[in-house]
């Protein structure tokens, strides 16, 4: 009986490129995917928030000045300090002469020299008003100096895998060694939204009044599209007009980056065009659940005769609309396993393709411990493995 069960199981699992259970999908009329919009800018990218898939891009890895989009990383560092308990929203920050001066000639929240301002108010000054003075004040308070704070920003960039990003100042002023890319900025936005959703909501605030001065969020999309809830504008003469935006429609969230546009209006229109393109022509599907058994492999010398393999996390993919049924998933697996093995051990690979193009590759893991059988069963299986290995 043991041998018969093994043979039956082997019939269902090939040595390589085994078919994975294909999720059922409703029938839809195929339609060609139109090309993504392109603009006369330095670079753009459109990314799905959940999966990180790039839906459209134009020179996404070309280095460019991020201008005040830099403040997203500055805020990320502040959020990290709040999460670690090393900072509090009601903590008071003394505004230095240096912080006040750094606000002159640029965007600022008009904090007075020598005044005490709460961390929360300064964060709103950074996020809504893009205040250079607020950014430098937080940097000095947290790290002792802006230079040390910039070191924290670069350390976070390295931790997040932003390999084409380097900062030399906190507010985003021009500098030869102050640069990023559209791809890195989108990755930073994904991390910020995922790690600090409680603070991300502040990026949808359209106005903030401090020191009796009302200022408005420069992100024009907040007033044009109710689904847009962030994130940050940027502008210097050398960087041009930049916009990092995000919108959520239904369960889908997209992130768009436009760097080096010609005007405030053009960066808003271009960002809106990218977001509309993504929501209109793409859709998200959950292909497999976390720890769903995608195959049962024969197990030799084990307490059971077979063991399941699957994914550690659910697999979601964004695909062009009406293309779901053309997805193909295959597994690369061994013909059998030999106990003992531990849950979570990598056994093989899952690959998902669309029309022959790779969309995703994931490790296939053992879903349970595979303990050794007794001496007699191990000896019996060792005998039959002679024949199996010669097959």
Catalytic residues: 68, 71, 130
List b or e across 77-94, with b for residues whose CB sees 16 or more CB atoms inside 10 angstroms. bbbbbbeeeebeeebebe
For 241, the 3-state DSSP assignment is strand
DSSP string for 91-130: -EEEPPHHHHHHTTTS----PPTT-EEEHHHHHHHHHTS-
Query: Is there a cis peptide before residue 284, judged by omega within 30 degrees of 0?
Result: no
Cβ atoms of 342 and 366 closer than 8 Å: yes
- How far apart, in whole angstroms, are the C-alpha atoms of residue 288 and residue 309? 12
For 278, the 3-state DSSP assignment is helix
- How far apart, in whole angstroms, are the C-alpha atoms of residue 96 and residue 238? 28
Nearest Cα to Cα of residue 59 among 235, 259, 270: 259
- How far apart, in whole angstroms, are the C-alpha atoms of residue 303 and residue 339? 8
């Amino acid at each position: 009986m043991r041998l018969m069960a093994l043979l039956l199981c082997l019939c269902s699992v090939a040595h390589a490129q085994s078919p994975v259970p294909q999720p059922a999908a409703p029938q839809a009329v195929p339609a060609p995917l139109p090309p993504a919009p392109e603009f006369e800018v330095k670079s753009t990218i459109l990314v799905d928030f959940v999966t990180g898939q790039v839906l459209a891009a134009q020179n996404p890895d070309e280095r460019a000045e991020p201008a005040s989009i830099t403040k997203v990383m500055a805020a990320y560092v502040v959020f990290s300090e709040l999460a670690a308990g090393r900072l509090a929203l009601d903590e008071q920050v003394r505004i230095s002469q240096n912080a006040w001066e750094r606000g002159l000639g640029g965007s600022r929240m008009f904090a007075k020299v020598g005044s005490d301002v709460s961390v929360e108010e300064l964060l709103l000054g950074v996020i809504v008003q893009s205040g250079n003075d607020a950014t430098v004040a937080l940097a000095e308070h947290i790290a002792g100096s802006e230079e040390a704070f910039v070191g924290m920003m670069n350390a976070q960039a390295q931790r997040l895998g932003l390999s084409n990003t380097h900062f030399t100042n906190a507010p985003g002023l021009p500098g030869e060694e102050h640069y990023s890319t559209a791809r890195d900025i989108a990755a930073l936005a994904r991390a910020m939204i995922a790690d600090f959703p409680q603070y991300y909501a502040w990026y949808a605030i359209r106005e903030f009044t401090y020191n009796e001065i009302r200022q408005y969020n420069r992100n024009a999309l907040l007033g044009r599209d109710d689904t847009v809830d962030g994130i940050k504008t940027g502008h210097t003469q050398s960087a041009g007009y930049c916009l990092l935006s995000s919108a959520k429609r239904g369960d889908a969230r997209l992130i768009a980056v436009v760097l080096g546009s010609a005007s405030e209006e053009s960066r808003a229109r271009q960002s809106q065009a990218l977001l509309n393109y993504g929501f209109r022509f793409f859709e998200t599907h959950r292909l497999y659940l976390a720890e769903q058994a995608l195959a049962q492999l024969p197990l030799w010398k084990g307490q059971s005769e077979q063991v399941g393999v699957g994914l550690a996390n659910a697999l979601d993919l964004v695909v062009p609309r009406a293309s779901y049924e053309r997805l193909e998933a295959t597994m690369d697996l061994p013909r059998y396993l030999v106990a003992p093995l531990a849950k979570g051990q990598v056994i093989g690979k899952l690959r998902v393709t669309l029309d022959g193009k790779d969309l995703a590759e994931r490790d296939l893991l053992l879903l349970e411990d595979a303990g050794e059988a007794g001496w007699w069963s191990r000896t019996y299986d060792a005998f039959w493995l002679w024949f199996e290995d010669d097959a």
